[in-house]
Amino acid sequence: MKKTSLNDIALHLGVSKTLVSFVLNGKGKEFRISEEICKKVLAVSKELNYQPNRIAQGLRTGRTNTIGLIIADIANPFFGILGREIEQEAAKFGYRVIFCSSDENPEKSRQQIEMLQQSQVDGYIISPPKDSEDQIRALALGNVPLVLIDRFFPEIECNQITVDNFDAAYRATNHLLRMGRKRIANITVNLDLINMNQRTEGYKQALRDSGHRVEESLIKVLPFSHENKEVAKAVKDLVTKNSQNKVDAILFSTSKLGINGIESISALGLKIPDDIAIVSFDNPDAYKICVSPVTVVNQPLKEIGKTAVQILLGEIKHPDNHAKIQKIILKTDLIIRKSCGS
């Protein structure tokens, strides 16, 4: 059951495939193909269920209508929602998306970028892992449509869409202070990622601005791929009564940390917010139904995804004016629930 090609339609009607191509691309008028023939072509193409071969089109035109997406992990709802939005917005304009999960591993992302290059994608949306500057720089210099999301590298000039992480953490920390918390910890991952770094800087600044001392021992930095027990260990050190690091609040920089953290806190028999207050970045379902619903920094995921696609498609369609690089910083909102007391 071979697929119908342009040529099949042409043979069927005794015309050239040039003509068929013109008609099916809506250029019948432009190339003065007679009404009558146009209709016949359309009819036969429907009759034979013609489906254009996008691969052949891609080879000829150099455009595949495909974009490559590299994120940390599509199974993580944060990226799931982002990916969903990107897929949807891209589909609106006739673009498909090849999804790649890098696991924050630069070697994987290198391979994925290479694969996407070979696949001749028209552009890239990437949430770059640490130590991937070289890859990103090479892409950016290669003059390929590219948008970074969630993080970026300050020294690379490139379209990017992020949230104001510093501000978000600053406000979250301030909220904890306003609620009367005196000693606040921060559990985070991998400070080589600029977004994470900015979160911790915002946290520090809020402490300083309110006259508190920043205690490095209250900042727990875990590796990206952390296990439940590593979070448990960090939490334990921060909440047990006789620990010299005993705190009354924790700011979690990711929801994965927060979810594991809440599990640990519960396991230790402590109550939120009575024994310890918490605020977390990101807004998974889990936080709505847990013992004490969690106050969160909510990121505008839909807007990030949608804007990323729009900027990317803009670049794809007008490759010329790559002069105006866009660096978009979106605002987050703090959703106040019960985990900080009242």
Partner DNA sequence: TTGAATTACTAAATCGTTTTAGCAAAAATA
Partner DNA sequence: TATTTTTGCTAAAACGATTTAGTAATTCAA
- Residues lying near DNA in the complex (CB under 7 A) are found at 2-3, 5-7, 14-19, 21-22, 24-25, 31-34, 37, 50-53, 56-57, 59-62
In our burial notation (b when 16+ CB lie closer than 10 A, e otherwise), range 193-208 reads bbbbbbbbbbbbbbbe
Shortest distance (Å) from residue 190 CB to a copy of itself: 20
Element (H, E) at 253: none
Give, in order, the Cα–Cα distances in Å from 326 to each of 162, 230, 289, 305. Answer: 11, 38, 38, 15
Shortest distance (Å) from residue 65 CB to DNA: 11
Q: Which residues contact 311 (CB under 8 A, 6 or more apart)?
A: 147, 159, 161, 326, 328
Select 61 or 240, whichever has its Cβ closest to DNA. Answer: 61
Residues lying near a copy of itself in the complex (CB under 8 A) are found at 1, 51-56, 58-59, 64, 66, 73-77, 80-81, 83-84, 87-88, 91, 96-101, 114-115, 117-120, 142-143, 259, 262-263, 266, 284-291
Select 164 or 341, whichever has its Cβ closest to a copy of itself. Answer: 341
Shortest distance (Å) from residue 134 CB to DNA: 23
Shortest distance (Å) from residue 177 CB to a copy of itself: 25
Shortest distance (Å) from residue 146 CB to DNA: 21
Nearest to 159 by CA among 112, 124, 202: 124
The one of a copy of itself, DNA, none whose footprint includes residue 150, by CB under 5 to 8 A per kind, is none
The one of a copy of itself, DNA, none whose footprint includes residue 325, by CB under 5 to 8 A per kind, is none
Q: Are strands 277-281 and 184-189 parallel, antiparallel or unpaired?
A: unpaired
Phi, psi of 168 (to 5 degrees): -60, -45
Select 33 or 71, whichever has its Cβ closest to DNA. Answer: 33
The one of a copy of itself, DNA, none whose footprint includes residue 32, by CB under 5 to 8 A per kind, is DNA
The one of a copy of itself, DNA, none whose footprint includes residue 75, by CB under 5 to 8 A per kind, is a copy of itself
In our burial notation (b when 16+ CB lie closer than 10 A, e otherwise), range 100-125 reads bbbebbbebbbebbeebeeeebbbbb
- What residues form DSSP beta bridges with 333? 298
Select 54 or 233, whichever has its Cβ closest to a copy of itself. Answer: 54
Shortest distance (Å) from residue 6 CB to DNA: 3
Contact by Cβ (8 Å): 127, 196: no
Q: In whole angstroms, what is the distance from residue 134 CA to residue 323 CA? A: 21
The one of DNA, a copy of itself, none whose footprint includes residue 81, by CB under 5 to 8 A per kind, is a copy of itself
The one of DNA, a copy of itself, none whose footprint includes residue 273, by CB under 5 to 8 A per kind, is none
Shortest distance (Å) from residue 307 CB to a copy of itself: 17
Instruction: Please tell me whether residue 308 adopts helix, strand or coil conformation.
Output: helix
The one of DNA, a copy of itself, none whose footprint includes residue 240, by CB under 5 to 8 A per kind, is none
Neighbours of 311 (CB within 10 A): 21
- What residues form DSSP beta bridges with 101? 71
The one of a copy of itself, DNA, none whose footprint includes residue 323, by CB under 5 to 8 A per kind, is none
Select 290 or 296, whichever has its Cβ closest to a copy of itself. Answer: 290
